[in-house]
Amino acid sequence: MRIAVTGGTGLVGGHLSVALSAAGHDVVVLSRGIDKRPWAREVLSTKGISVRSADIGDLESLKRAFEGCEAVAHCAGINRELGASTYESVHVAGTSNVVKAAERAGVDRLALVSFLRARPDCGSPYHESKWAAEEIVRASDLEWTVLKPGMMFGRGDHMLDHLSKALLTFPVYLGVGDRKVRPLAVDDAVRILVASLVHGSLMRKTVPVMGPTEIGFDDAVRLVGRVIGKRRRTLRVPIAVHYLLARLAEELMTVPLVATAQVRILEEELVESTMAPDKLSAELTPSTPFDEASILAGLPSPLQRFGPRDLRPLAKKTRRISVCGEGSTLIRRDPREVMEFVLDVERYRQADHKIGRVHWIRGDGNTGEVRHGGRFMGIPAPAVTLGFELTPFSRLDFKGVSTPWPLRGFDGFFSCEKTMEGTRVTHRECLIFGPVMGRILKPLIAPWLSGDTPAEVKRIKSILEGEADRSSR
């Protein structure tokens, strides 16, 4: 099967994508841009996983991404609002777009990852928006399943990642009292999603999903501390203090230690579901305990502390500005032929007019580096060194290893999706500048690059299809 996954580099979406790929399915991860997080890079480098550029706020890009897919897993979501990313825009409008796009693209099945206690009229925008998303899915013509998981843990998660960082950073843990949770291993959630998407289990069912271990949240924190060798004194404080800390964390941290929605979740506890009338079968019921072994397996590696770069004010001072271009087209050639053309830099210069003289290329398996001169808006530019990594033969990622001033970096990718008509090729490239030069140069460069990158992809199509036509005569 070909299955699309929104939020495919997050916790649930990432583990689901890897599991589906391991089972031999074609997995399409939807992405708005380049996700540089270690967990995301691990997911995207997995054989059988490809990337399509799409945004859940853009109905047409979603429809294009879903074409040829038989099922969609909608795992995208947020736990705090930031700028244009609001609960309304992501959970409600985004889910509406996903459903409409899936229906128009001829998708059969859709599974939504909601939240254990999502419900209407409860005073929490997070809970209410998740409920609204459920209602949109249930009203669709698709073969739908709604999963309502509670607190999840596993590699790439927020729970173990932030708890371990906090315990390594702070001498005291501020407890929440006797509030209980049933932590759910992400692998158990994935097993249920696979059953729904691949085997058609749980059609038109809304099911609660919780782990088998009921434990006080403070006890869970102490257990994590014991596993990482950091036993901290627990100081119990009123829940109002946690709300205050969450608001401060949302204002000050790039990824909050705890968000307001998460405090509300803990305040209610996570041991009972709401408005989830259907039940799991015995074979799908989660069985992974929350214990030292499962915690150890889910901890990030290496363990890290919170540092200055986790603070938004400091991150803003060093924030870089990216200017990106993107193009996509269908080429009547095999993905391998497309990638071989892109990797042959001397040939590829025919399509990419930004490449000057090639100085050298060094390769080691599916990774390597290339150094070549540049042409910037038609003007000769100093040489750059780019590192590249190939996922045969569906994706090529590249980044700047050595770039001349005023560039601070250069990132991008090629992705190849095999279709009945040929190969869907998507190319994205980003020039990265410091904050000062970025503000100066972006108005000049952005229009040029937004036209040059699509033109580059069209030239690839012209060259490769022209070669194929000549060889067939």
Read off the pLDDT of each residue in 74-92 and give the average, rounded to a whole number.
92
CATH for the 2-274+286-317 domain, from 3.10.20.30, 3.40.50.720, 3.30.70.240, 3.30.750.24? 3.40.50.720
- 115 neighbors 134 (Cβ within 8 angstroms): no
Is residue 260 left, alpha or beta, with left meaning phi > 0 and alpha meaning psi from -120 to 50? Answer: alpha
User: What is the reported pLDDT for 95?
Assistant: 97
Q: Residue 30: name the closest of 134, 114, 131, 102 by CA.
A: 102
Full-prediction pTM beyond 0.75?
A: no
Domains of the chain, residue spans? 2-274+286-317, 321-472
- Do domains 2-274+286-317 and 321-472 share one topology? The answer is no
Q: Residue 358: name the closest of 335, 377, 343, 374 by CA.
A: 374
CA distance 187 to 155: 10
Which residues make Cβ contacts (< 8 Å) with residue 123, sequence separation at least 6? none
CA distance 424 to 392: 15
User: What is the reported pLDDT for 103?
Assistant: 97
User: What is the reported pLDDT for 55?
Assistant: 85
pLDDT tens digits, 44-70: 778 888 888 788 988 988 998 999 999
Tokens of 377: 């808006």
- Sheet of strand 143-149: strand arrangement: 49-53, 26-31, 2-6, 71-74, 109-113, 143-149, 205-209
pLDDT tens digits, 319-329: 788 899 989 99
User: What is the reported pLDDT for 163?
Assistant: 95
Query: Which residue is associated with the tokens 């994508």?
Result: 17
Superfamily of structural domain 321-472? START domain (3.30.530.20)
Cα 301–chain centre separation: 19
Query: Which residue is associated with the tokens 């909601």?
Result: 114
Q: What element of type H or E holds 189?
A: helix 186-199
State phi, psi for 80 to the nearest 5 degrees: -155, 155
Strand partners, 380: 375
Query: Residue 77: pLDDT above 90?
Result: yes
Query: Residue 316: pLDDT above 60?
Result: no
- 133 neighbors 17 (Cβ within 8 angstroms): no
pLDDT tens digits, 449-468: 999 999 999 999 999 998 87
| Burial group, residue 120, by CB count within 10 angstroms (0-12, 13-18, 19+) | exposed
pLDDT tens digits, 12-30: 999 999 999 999 999 999 8
**Which of the four pLDDT bands, split at 50, 70 and 90, describes residue 472?**
low
